[in-house]
């Protein structure tokens, strides 16, 4: 009998997870009305539902925050609940780290920690926090289906009905993915909502995936992370934007793309209806976008440049504008945006031809990182989109245009563009001999340095000096020479060999503005389609309603 | 006024897609009862709902097939509806190509065409069919959110209720993704279901995403694509399996992985409870899996090797077994499997340490393809999982173990293993001087040759001769020498230089069975934990119920 191979063990239970879940839920059943838990009971419910050592996925998203649940979790008795393993996209709020200060949580796997990056570094040094790993978003979700499946998911939505069906509104973001990983492996899903209602505008997540609903004490927190005030865009950024449009978008015929959130990419968005139109490029470039609804994209949309935008999340103030532009944005039958971080990251990885983003530091090989001394900021979505996806098999003209080998087996390449003004505002060089990330990684005992974008994945580097077409460089030495040739007055740039640089220009591996027909003197703020948030709102016909902090009129 | 930049056009409508959808749906409204269309009306409804030139996403999945809808689409009047652009994961059924023979469809973007690959090649030659591109699955879905958003989605599910909520059952597969891309950009979603019911076991897709439901004339078609009969596993495959377990899984500490669907990987699954256990590896390797519920994995599950399995789809006959093993599989509160191709492909790309698959042809550089003369089979999911994902930032011991560079900026690497018996059954060499795919690509005017896995993505090649540890090879010449050293009596293998081979063995770049303590004489069928489908069923306690074609008892 074959089963005899499996010897010496008592009959195995194959539903331990389900039985454990049932026991936990039974303990809070007396407090529930259907799936609804009274808000006042949330802390004591968490003390029963969460067990020490659990993996807890906390929606700390990129934008929206399950802050009622995170604040409540920070209030549980750490003698009862401790050593949690937190899975969180973005460490964004004070109480996320209070969990570690109190000992409620011990270990964290995360993708981004912008606002809290200093405290993360401090807690790590104080041995109050242990890092599992730092991820790009989708990697963390991927492991939720492999070896980091959550025991508990704490998520948020705008509305729920009595059956637990959720309406996320425009910020669907990561919620369906986290819920799917948890609900279908006998984890417990708790959703905070702004309100209970009889009829939802639409269903974003089916009620049968949700165990408990609790009404938050106040609407979930959300930050306008993708609003860039055009008033702050400077002329160097405009010059770089002009070079990108001429030297990259036009030259490679880039029709589908993702933009980062820097002021330099905002400049590009605002140059399309003016400088781009003057080059006759409307309809030829920048048609299909994967990005959040950047307000600075409004003039290009209104001018008819944009066929479609699929979004990771939404952006505060853009709700009515999106609702009025359903041909461009992905919206539900209720009219509001449907975003989805996993699907937009998938589209941004495999479905578009170009990623362009900014960096805080770049080394002579083109490696870059936003992790700098004393800051553990993480990577966000950049690594997933900022590399050449080797699983890609379909061709587009832009992808094919990067082929340099002459062989019977070749493949094209994604355009991965890194923007870097050679100096930061404070006078610190951006292009440096060695990334701070290398030392930070050593200090934190990381197995490899926390690099955001690797140099060998970068196809183009753009500074205010010019463009280095790294994909054409033959070998690492030539790649270094090309980067040095656009590194300006940084120590790296000062080492550039003028004769080598001239050779690279002749061979089209380096181009300065004059080589691509861009006149430095044209790089004026008057070239921006909108020069203020007020003008963006005017372009939208008043549909874009910027948050108060951006209003000056 | 900034708006004046947008000159000379009539007031633009921003809801053309929504208005078009409303017009189409209004034309069938008289036939509907709620969202339900009478089955007898389906052909005339499609003639109204679908317009010539539309992009139509047809669920032609890897496994389940919306075959009532595809058969009905093939019956529309080609004078009314023609030149459709088909987006289809898998060209699996006769009528998929009948659409092209009749001129109803003209262009296709697809990922796999196994059973119909000969006819695809013929229709292409006859200029009845135009290929947009051949994809790996997720790439095709990615473009549905960018520039290939469907106008119409024809999908299938097991059950629907009157509100259009769908229960997919264990084969959720691609349905939520295709529906999301279509529904949220004002496309029309039509779902065929096996039955209408008042109460669904669970909701897999919310009703508000679905426009029309139609009951199929018979349950949707589904193929047991992942069932491998252990009786067909030969001793060479067992030898290769032993080498993989010792020389790769044990050596690199591989805990999370994906297996292809060949008999060689089935052999590995069946060797874990016997050979693997004898090496003391239980609990140390192969704990977390991303793959379909392979029946050949049952003995390893029953022996306690497997902590979790997340699935792309399901497998016919495995339903009751999965239902009885919820600690291992992802299941809903109704007890049945929840699969999801996009999320499992994400997990298989970013969340696991190893991909291992078989190939029909490999060239001296390690490039491989299943596209051979006269067959356009496509790639399926292999390219997405069979490459080193450069966006990965988290470390695991297996991933770190492939680092060979000594630099301050390094990264680990995914294990991408290609299995190839040196000769196919018919006596054709598998390792060849040039891939057929190169000539096929030229004949079909493809911009690049249809390569499934590129050599520079492969970390290990395993043949019955031994293992080539390509990740350790220094440069392309050494990589070629390592492949030749395990290429046996093929023309490529006969050119191997014995002195170079000996050098590679000394340096651990090539290993033969004796180098890793594997005795060829032990590679017997008696080492398999199950030697027949009947024994697999016995291991499962009768819960696995193989389809009739696999039953011999």
> Is residue B333 domain-resident?
yes
Q: Distance between alpha carbon A453 and the CA centroid of its chain, in Å? A: 13
> If phi over 0 gives left and psi between -120 and 50 gives alpha, with beta otherwise, what is residue A445?
left
The answer to whether A358 and A420 have CB atoms below 8 angstroms apart is yes
Taking contacts as CB-CB distances below 8 angstroms, the residues of chain B near A394 are 109, 132-135, 139-140, 143
The answer to whether A315 and A547 have CB atoms below 8 angstroms apart is no
A332 touches chain B (CB under 8 A): yes
- Same-domain check for residues B166 and B275: no
> Is residue B225 domain-resident?
no
Return the ∠ at Cα B547 (arms to B543 and B548), rounded to 5°.
Answer: 120
A422 touches chain B (CB under 8 A): no
CA distances from A255 to A97, B267, B395 (A): 42, 46, 35
- Among B184, B215, B246, give the residue marking a domain's end: B215
The answer to whether A352 and A332 have CB atoms below 8 angstroms apart is no
- Same-domain check for residues A176 and A239: no
State how far the Cα of A472 lies from the Cα of A508, in Å rounded to an integer.
8
> Is residue A10 domain-resident?
no
> Is residue A284 domain-resident?
yes
State how far the Cα of A404 lies from the Cα of B322, in Å rounded to an integer.
49
What DSSP string describes B421-440? -SB-TTS-BSB-SS-HHHHH
Nearest to B351 among A145, A346, A529 (CB): A145
- Same-domain check for residues B98 and B242: no
Taking contacts as CB-CB distances below 8 angstroms, the residues of chain B near A180 are 338, 340, 343
- Among B151, B186, B215, give the residue marking a domain's end: B215
- Same-domain check for residues A421 and A469: yes
> Across the interface, do A351 and B385 touch by the CB < 8 Å criterion?
no
- Within 530-549 of A, beta carbons closer than 8 Å to B belong to 530, 535, 538-539, 541
Nearest to A3 among B6, B181, B539 (CB): B539
> Is residue A491 domain-resident?
yes
Residue A460, strand partner residues = A417, A469
- Among A186, A215, A244, give the residue marking a domain's end: A215
Is beta strand A288-290 parallel, antiparallel or unpaired with respect to A308-310? Answer: parallel
> Is residue A545 domain-resident?
no
Query: Nearest residue on chain A to B287, judged by CA atoms?
Result: A147
- Within 133-172 of A, beta carbons closer than 8 Å to B belong to 133-136, 138-147, 149, 165
B369 touches chain A (CB under 8 A): no
- Same-domain check for residues B435 and B464: yes
List the strands of the sheet with A460-462, edge to edge.
Answer: A308-310, A288-290, A256-259, A354-358, A415-419, A460-462, A467-469, A510-511
The answer to whether A246 and A518 have CB atoms below 8 angstroms apart is yes
> Nearest-CA neighbor of B66 among B195, B218, B291, B196?
B218
Nearest to B138 among A17, A132, A346 (CB): A346
B363 touches chain A (CB under 8 A): yes
Taking contacts as CB-CB distances below 8 angstroms, the residues of chain A near B177 are 343
- Same-domain check for residues A237 and A209: no
Q: What domain count does chain B have?
A: 2
> Is residue A55 domain-resident?
yes
Q: What are phi and psi of B155, to 5 degrees?
A: -125, 175
> Across the interface, do B400 and A447 touch by the CB < 8 Å criterion?
yes
Distance from CA of A66 to the nearest CA of B (A): 23
> Is residue B511 domain-resident?
yes
> Across the interface, do A146 and B308 touch by the CB < 8 Å criterion?
yes
Q: What is the pLDDT of residue A488?
A: 96
> Nearest-CA neighbor of A537 among A225, A229, A223?
A229
> Across the interface, do B288 and A146 touch by the CB < 8 Å criterion?
yes
> Nearest-CA neighbor of B383 among B401, B393, B368, B372?
B368
Helix ranges (DSSP H) in A50-184: 67-73, 94-101, 117-125, 137-144, 175-183
Is residue B101 helix, strand or coil? helix
- Same-domain check for residues A180 and A325: no
Q: Give the residue numbers spanning the domain of B43.
A: 36-215
A283 touches chain B (CB under 8 A): no
A302 touches chain B (CB under 8 A): yes
B208 touches chain A (CB under 8 A): yes
> Across the interface, do B391 and A310 touch by the CB < 8 Å criterion?
no
State how far the Cα of A459 lies from the Cα of A472, in Å rounded to an integer.
8
Tally Cβ neighbours within 10 Å of residue A26. Answer: 10
Q: What is the pLDDT of residue B10?
A: 62
Instruction: Report the CATH number at residue A157.
Output: 3.40.1080.10
| HSE-up of residue A78 (Cα within 13 Å, Cβ side) | 11
Q: Which residue has the tokens 């027949």?
A: B532
What DSSP string describes B452-471? SB-GGG-SEEE-SS-EEEGG
- Give me the tens of pLDDT residue by residue for chain A, a chain 553 residues long: 344 444 455 678 999 999 999 999 999 999 999 999 999 999 999 999 999 999 999 999 888 999 999 999 999 999 999 999 999 999 999 999 999 999 999 999 999 987 788 899 899 989 999 999 999 999 999 999 999 999 999 999 999 999 999 999 999 999 999 999 999 999 999 999 999 999 999 999 999 999 999 999 999 999 888 999 999 999 999 999 999 999 999 999 999 999 999 999 999 999 999 999 999 999 999 999 999 999 999 999 999 999 999 999 999 999 999 999 999 999 999 999 999 999 999 999 999 999 999 988 999 999 998 877 777 788 899 999 999 999 999 999 999 999 998 899 999 999 999 999 999 888 899 999 999 999 988 888 889 999 999 999 999 999 999 999 999 999 999 999 999 999 999 999 999 999 999 999 999 999 999 999 999 999 999 999 999 999 999 999 999 999 999 987 7
Query: Nearest residue on chain B to A528, judged by CA atoms?
Result: B2
Q: What is the pLDDT of residue A10?
A: 62
Q: What is the pLDDT of residue B292?
A: 96
State how far the Cα of A350 lies from the Cα of B342, in Å rounded to an integer.
13
Q: SS3 for B468-485, per residue?
A: EEHHHCCCHHHHHHHHHH
> Across the interface, do B288 and A147 touch by the CB < 8 Å criterion?
yes
B330 touches chain A (CB under 8 A): yes
- Same-domain check for residues A186 and A317: no
> Nearest-CA neighbor of A264 among A128, A358, A361?
A358
- Same-domain check for residues A192 and A150: yes
Q: What is the pLDDT of residue A499?
A: 97
- Same-domain check for residues A202 and A116: yes
Query: Nearest residue on chain A to B434, judged by CA atoms?
Result: A408
> Across the interface, do B288 and A6 touch by the CB < 8 Å criterion?
no
A366 touches chain B (CB under 8 A): no
Distance from CA of A95 to the nearest CA of B (A): 25
State how far the Cα of B548 lies from the Cα of B284, in Å rounded to an integer.
36
> Across the interface, do A400 and B447 touch by the CB < 8 Å criterion?
yes
Is residue A302 helix, strand or coil? helix
> Across the interface, do A448 and B324 touch by the CB < 8 Å criterion?
no
> Nearest-CA neighbor of A350 among B9, B286, B349?
B349
Consecutive H or E run containing B58: strand B55-58
- Same-domain check for residues A166 and A305: no
Q: What is the pLDDT of residue B9?
A: 55
A248 touches chain B (CB under 8 A): no
Consecutive H or E run containing A27: helix A16-28
- Same-domain check for residues B152 and B253: no
Q: What is the pLDDT of residue A1?
A: 36
> Across the interface, do A350 and B180 touch by the CB < 8 Å criterion?
no
Taking contacts as CB-CB distances below 8 angstroms, the residues of chain B near A454 are 390, 409, 411
B390 touches chain A (CB under 8 A): yes
B394 touches chain A (CB under 8 A): yes
- Within 467-506 of B, beta carbons closer than 8 Å to A belong to none
Nearest to B343 among A180, A403, A412 (CB): A180
Question: Hey, which bits of B365-446 come out as E strands?
Answer: 368-369, 415-419
Q: SS3 for A473-517, per residue?
A: CCCHHHHHHHHHHCCCCCHHHHCCCHHHHHHHHHCCCEECHHHHC
Low-confidence ranges of chain B (pLDDT < 70): 1-10
């Amino acid at each position: 009998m074959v089963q005899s191979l499996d010897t010496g063990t008592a009959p195995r239970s194959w539903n331990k997870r389900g039985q454990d879940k049932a026991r936990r839920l039974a303990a809070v059943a007396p407090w529930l009305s259907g799936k609804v838990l009274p808000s006042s009971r949330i802390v004591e419910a968490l003390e029963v539902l969460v067990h020490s050592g659990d993996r807890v996925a906390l929606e700390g998203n990129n934008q929206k925050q399950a802050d009622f649940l995170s604040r409540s979790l920070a209030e549980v008795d750490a003698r009862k609940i401790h050593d949690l393993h937190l899975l969180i996209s973005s460490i964004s709020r004070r109480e996320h780290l209070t969990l570690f200060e109190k000992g409620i949580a011990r270990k964290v796997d995360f993708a981004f920690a912008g606002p809290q990056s200093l405290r993360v570094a401090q807690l790590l040094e104080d041995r109050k926090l242990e890092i599992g790993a730092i991820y790009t978003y989708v990697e963390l979700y991927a492991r939720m289906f492999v070896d980091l499946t959550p025991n508990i998911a704490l998520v948020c939505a705008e509305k729920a009905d009595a059956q637990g069906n959720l309406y996320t509104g425009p910020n669907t973001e990561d919620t369906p993915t986290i819920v799917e990983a948890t609900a279908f492996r006998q984890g417990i899903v708790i959703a905070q909502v702004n309100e209970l209602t009889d009829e939802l505008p639409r269903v974003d997540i089916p009620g049968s995936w949700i165990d408990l609903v609790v009404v938050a004490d106040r609407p979930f927190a959300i930050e306008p992370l993708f609003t860039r005030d055009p008033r702050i865009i400077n002329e160097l950024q405009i010059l770089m934007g002009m070079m990108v449009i001429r030297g990259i978008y036009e030259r490679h015929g880039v029709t589908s793309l993702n933009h980062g959130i820097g002021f330099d990419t905002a400049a590009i968005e605002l140059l399309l209806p003016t400088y781009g139109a003057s080059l006759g490029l409307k309809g030829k470039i920048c048609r299909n976008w994967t990005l959040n609804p950047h307000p600075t994209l409004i003039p290009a949309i209104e001018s008819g440049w944009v066929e479609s935008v699929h979004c990771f999340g939404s952006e505060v103030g853009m709700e009515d504008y999106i609702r009025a532009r359903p041909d461009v944005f992905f919206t539900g039958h209720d009219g509001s945006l449907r975003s989805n971080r996993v699907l937009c990251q998938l589209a941004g990885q495999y479905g578009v031809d170009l990623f362009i983003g900014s960096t805080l530091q770049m080394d002579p090989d083109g490696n870059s990182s936003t992790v700098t001394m004393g800051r553990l900021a993480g990577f966000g979505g950049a690594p997933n989109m900022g590399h050449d996806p080797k699983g890609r098999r379909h061709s587009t003209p832009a992808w094919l245009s990067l082929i340099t080998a002459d062989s019977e087996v070749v493949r094209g390449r994604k355009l991965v563009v890194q923007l870097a003004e050679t100096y930061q505002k404070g006078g610190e060089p951006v292009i440096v001999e060695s990334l701070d990330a290398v030392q930070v990684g050593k200090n934190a005992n990381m197995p490899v340095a926390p690099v955001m974008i690797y140099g060998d994945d970068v196809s183009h580097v753009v500074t205010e000096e010019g463009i280095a077409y790294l994909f054409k460089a033959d070998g690492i030495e030539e790649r270094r020479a090309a980067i040095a040739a656009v590194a300006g007055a940084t120590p790296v740039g000062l080492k550039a060999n003028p004769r080598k640089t001239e050779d690279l220009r002749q061979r089209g591996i380096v181009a300065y503005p004059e080589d691509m027909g861009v006149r430095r003197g044209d790089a004026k703020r008057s070239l921006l389609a909108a020069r203020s948030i007020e003008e963006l709102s005017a372009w939208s016909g008043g549909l874009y309603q910027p948050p108060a902090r951006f209003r000056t009129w």
